[in-house]
Structure 1
Amino acid sequence: MKGENALGDFLKARRGRVRPDESGAPSFGRRRVPGLRRDELARLAGVSQHYLTRLEQGKDRNPSPQVLNALANALRLDRDERAHLTALATTAPPPGVGHTAVSDAVRQLVDSWSQTPAYVRDRRFDVLAANKLAMALSPLYTPGRNLVRGMFLDPAVRTLFPDWTEIAAQSAAALRAEADPRDPATAALISSLLADSLFREVWAGYDVRPTRDEVKRFNHEVVGPLTLRRETLAVAGAEGQVIIAYQAAPGTPAAQALARLL
Structure 2
Amino acid sequence: MSSYVAPGDQATSGLDRRTELREFLRSRRARIRPEDVGLLSHGRRRVPGLRREELAQLAGVSYAYYARLEQGYGETMSAEVLDAVARALHLNEEEREHLIRLAEPDRQSATQAVPPPQRLRPSVRHLLDTLGVPAYVVSRRLDILGWNRLASVVFGDWGRLPLEERNLARLIFLSPEARDRFADPDRTALSIAGALRMNAGKSPGDLYLSALIEELSQKSEEFRRFWARHEVSCGSVGESVRMRHPLVGEFDLVHVPMALPGGAPMRMVTYHAEPGSRSEEALRMLASWETEPLR
Identify which range, 7-16 or 231-240, moves more after superposition: 231-240
Query: Per the alignment, do residues 204 and 39 of structure 1 end up closer, same or farther by CA in structure 2, a change over 3 Å counting?
Result: same
Measured after TM superposition, the shift of residue 141 of structure 1 is: 4.8
1:96-136 CA distance string (max 9 Å, x none): 889722112111211233x4322111122111112233223
1:138 aligns with 2:155: yes
SS of equivalent to 1:107: helix
| Residue in 1 that maps onto 2:69 | 55
Identity value in percent? 38
Query: Per the alignment, do residues 169 and 45 of structure 1 end up closer, same or farther by CA in structure 2, a change over 3 Å counting?
Result: same
Whether the 8 Å CA contact 1:172–1:199 is kept in 2: the answer is yes
Task: Report 1:52-201 matches (<5 A).
Answer: 52-92=66-106, 93-94=108-109, 100-113=118-131, 115-139=132-156, 141-142=158-159, 144=164, 145-179=166-200, 180=202, 182=204, 183-195=206-218, 196-201=220-225
| Residue in 1 that maps onto 2:244 | 219
Measured after TM superposition, the shift of residue 70 of structure 1 is: 1.0
SS of equivalent to 2:48: coil
| Residue in 1 that maps onto 2:261 | 236
Q: How many residues align?
A: 261
Partner amino acid for 1:128? Answer: L
Measured after TM superposition, the shift of residue 57 of structure 1 is: 2.2
Query: Per the alignment, do residues 62 and 258 of structure 1 end up closer, same or farther by CA in structure 2, a change over 3 Å counting?
Result: farther
Unaligned runs of 5+ in 2: 4-14
Which of structures 1 and 2 has the larger relative contact order (alpha carbons within 8 angstroms, sep 6+)? 2
| TM-score of the pair, normalised by structure 1 | 0.88
Whether the 8 Å CA contact 2:135–2:269 is kept in 1: the answer is yes
Partner amino acid for 1:67? Answer: V
Whether the 8 Å CA contact 1:98–1:238 is kept in 2: the answer is no
| TM-score of the pair, normalised by structure 2 | 0.79
Measured after TM superposition, the shift of residue 156 of structure 1 is: 0.5
Partner amino acid for 1:194? Answer: S
Measured after TM superposition, the shift of residue 219 of structure 1 is: 1.6
1:56-111 CA distance string (max 9 Å, x none): 22245442111111111111112221122122223223388897221121112112
Distance 1:161 1:104 in 2: 30
